[in-house]
Chains A and B, each alone.
Chain A
Amino acid sequence: MIKAEQKPMEEILRALNPYNKILLSGCGACVTVCHAGGEKEVELLASGLRMARQKIGKRMEVLEITPARQCEPEFALELAQTVQKVEAVVSISCGVGVQTLVRHFPKIPVFPGVNTTFLGETITHGVWEERCQACGNCVLEKTGGICPVARCAKQLLNGPCGGSSNGKCEINQETDCAWQLIYDRLSGLGQLDRLEEIIPAKRWGVESRDRGPRRMVREDLKA
């Protein structure tokens, strides 16, 4: 799922400086799971903002809402009436959710309250790691189900580089070397011969974000 973390309070306050009545919107999906932008975080951040503004004698009214999925139009539109009553919106959904609000509410400023960090999985409570870069052409079949695009610091398709040591990446002792993981996984499956094959250069400019923002159309589903 998409992971995010709250922006520093000062940064959010700076963006809100000109406003006295805002709507704080969370999202019931991914950011709820990673404890960055769910109903609970909306409540906490709303009180934080109110208190911070009170401290400097500049009261701010903060309305709260948490649609089930901010990135889906039917849920985002739940904000339509409330948006009329405020001067600005802070969204603590991911960057996608922020832009859904922007698309539907052209006349109201929308600010992000979180930094969208990555597509990742939960390792243990409170720990998340990046797993996918949505590169557009999955190579997991070739790499034992471990993604070098997301998990190797150099995105090597024919790794590991010379900096792999004791299972860790040279850039950071906390980071597993993706290619050591790939090697161990294929070794365990008795499929090390797969690593003899050269993985050819990826078509970043055709398959990935590098071709420009991507769009999918499913004719069978279109309204």
Chain B
Amino acid sequence: MKAGSHLESVLEKGAFAVTGEFNPPKGNDLSIAKRKAGLLKDCVDAVNVTDSQTAIVRMSSMAASSLLIQMGLEPVMQMTTRDRNRIALQSDLMGATALGIKNVLCLTGDHQSFGNQVDSKNVHDLDSVQLVDCVRTMRDQGTLLGGVEKIEGEIKLFIGAVENPFADPVEFRATRLGKKVAAGADFIQTQCIYDMNRFKEWMKRVLDRGLHEKCHILAGVSPLNSDRILLQWKEKTLPKIPIPEELIDRITKSKDPDEEGIRVCIEQVKELKEMKGIHGIHLMGVDLEEKFARIVDGAGLSPRPKVE
């Protein structure tokens, strides 16, 4: 075990892992956060705590991760290179591990122009691949980036990264994943999957490169509903996450689109579970915690393995 996290032990045992997304509050009011944490507690193995996702200012992922530990959940602290340079990132990694955080997810982060502080300067001193390498250096060499300065204590972290199988250039996406794995990623969470055929094409490239043997791949899923589909239509100029037409039809034409979205998601999870190289799922979406529990149940993934 590299970090001794619960997520790591689930994956190392070969169980099909379930992680879920948690957005910290846009302030310091914890009332809603506590309710969400309660909903997530028994349906996922670990909770991704976002780092001011879409550049909307929220409570820091480290603080929220620490609070989740107090509530009995295991966090995956998301960390973007957008807002902090390598001094701040490494400093936070020291603090995070001291607070009991054992999983980190290294991201570039959404551009600040999408958020609510558009005048800000982005940092990107490192990129996500370099951040993965930085965490691995801290953990495996016991030094800061550069390999010289010794760290007091041990930085035990299970290192995650992400990949969007649908972004362009599509043929390069598995190569880029390979770079993240070479840099030290232990697990990968993918962007949200709706187009299973395109996802399979990406997975084929991943399998051809043998990347599934070097890291754990968790497939990103999120239940669709009418709002989500409408949003996708509005953003058609920006097709980051493709949704096949037949899926849109199936959901919009059903009597209860919300329920149909959950049914579709359960079917997807069942299919992903049988797919070679997929070691788990990552449930995504804002304010969907109640649906997460139903999906996990419906896909036959309950109860989750107990923390040892």
Across-interface contacts of B86 in A (CB, < 8 A): 201
Q: How many A-B residue pairs have CB under 8 A?
A: 92
Q: Flag B257-270 by CB within 8 Å of A: 1 or 0 each.
A: 00000000000000
- A residues with a Cβ closer than 8 A to B are 153-167, 170-171, 173, 177, 179-180, 183-184, 192, 195-196, 198, 200-201, 204
Majority SS of interface residues in chain A? loop
Cβ-defined contact, B167 with A156, below 8 A: no
Q: How far is the CA of A156 from the CA of B128 in the complex (A)?
A: 8
Cβ-defined contact, A170 with B179, below 8 A: no
Contact residue among A157, A158, A162, A180 (Cβ-Cβ distance under 8 Å from B169): A180
Cβ-defined contact, B113 with A160, below 8 A: no
Complex: chain B residue closest to A193, CB-CB: B175
Q: How far is the CA of A166 from the CA of B163 in the complex (A)?
A: 17
Across-interface contacts of A154 in B (CB, < 8 A): 82, 108-109, 111, 122, 124, 127
A164-B134 CB under 8 A given contacts A159-B127, A195-B175, A201-B125:
no
Cβ-defined contact, B168 with A164, below 8 A: yes
Q: How far is the CA of A170 from the CA of B108 in the complex (A)?
A: 14
Q: How large is the interface on B (under 10, 10 to 19, 20 to 34, 35 or more residues)?
A: 35 or more
Across-interface contacts of A167 in B (CB, < 8 A): 168
A180-B125 CB under 8 A given contacts A154-B111, A198-B133, A200-B130:
no
Across-interface contacts of A204 in B (CB, < 8 A): 125
A160-B130 CB under 8 A given contacts A165-B239, A195-B175, A196-B178:
no
Across-interface contacts of B294 in A (CB, < 8 A): none
- B residues with a Cβ closer than 8 A to A are 82, 86, 108-111, 113-114, 122, 124-130, 133-134, 145, 162-164, 167-169, 172, 175-176, 178-179, 182-183, 191, 237-240
Cβ-defined contact, B167 with A164, below 8 A: yes
Across-interface contacts of A158 in B (CB, < 8 A): 127-130, 176, 179
Kindly name the residue among A158, A179, A184 whose own CB sees the greatest number of chain B CB atoms within 10 A. A158
Complex: chain B residue closest to A169, CB-CB: B111
Across-interface contacts of A157 in B (CB, < 8 A): 127, 129-130
Q: How far is the CA of A121 from the CA of B3 in the complex (A)?
A: 49
Taking the closest CB of chain A, its distance from the CB of B183, in whole angstroms, is 6
Taking the closest CB of chain B, its distance from the CB of A37, in whole angstroms, is 27
Cβ-defined contact, A165 with B111, below 8 A: no
Across-interface contacts of A165 in B (CB, < 8 A): 167-168, 238-240
Across-interface contacts of B133 in A (CB, < 8 A): 198, 200-201
